[in-house]
Amino acid sequence: MIDESKFKLLGSGAEFKAQLFAMLQGSDFFGDFPPAEIETLTKYAQAYSVGAGTVIFDEGERGGFMCLVIEGSAEIFKQDNKYGNKRVGTIESGKTVGEMALVDGEQRSATCICPQASRLVMLTREQFVRIIREHPALSVNILLKLLTMMSRRLRQTSGQLVDHLQN
């Protein structure tokens, strides 16, 4: 569930849906989707603004949404037994974070914080399940994109692990 105390809804209605369409179409994740599918997606996703330092989600909490960073950035931190929280990545504008929660709804594997004021588009797991039921073709495209992204990240991580083990 999205904590409304941390996230300010950017808008709603037909006029805002056009802005949301442009945000989604300009992203790396959804940019190559057919316009009709992006239009459909605007009925399920919502855009929010957050202040600098906002924790989007904490490692270990139950996942319920993915985010597309529209403006600003997000930093990813992983708990380390030796050093505490260690920054392991930065999510730039146009990129997504929290995708695994959309698929499995399990606990978050890392903490996500926006270091500056940012705008995010969020798709909740609940809304994604509705897309699966109501728009199967769109849900398949989203799942294929998620699987491709996760596969790419796993290959990259496996390569880094091999490099680390060799050193």
Does residue 60 carry a pLDDT above 80? yes
Q: Say which residue the tokens 């994604």 belong to.
A: 128
Listed range (53-57, 85-89, 159-163) with the worst mean pLDDT: 159-163
CATH code, residues 8-159? 2.60.120.10
Average pLDDT estimate for 25-34: 93
Average pLDDT estimate for 130-147: 95
Contact of 91 with 73, CB cutoff 8 Å:
yes
pLDDT mean across residues, the chain = 90
Look at residue 70 in the predicted model and tell me its pLDDT. 93
Does residue 136 carry a pLDDT above 80? yes
Q: Quick one: 6 exposed, middle or buried, by C-beta within 10 A (0-12, 13-18, 19+)?
A: middle
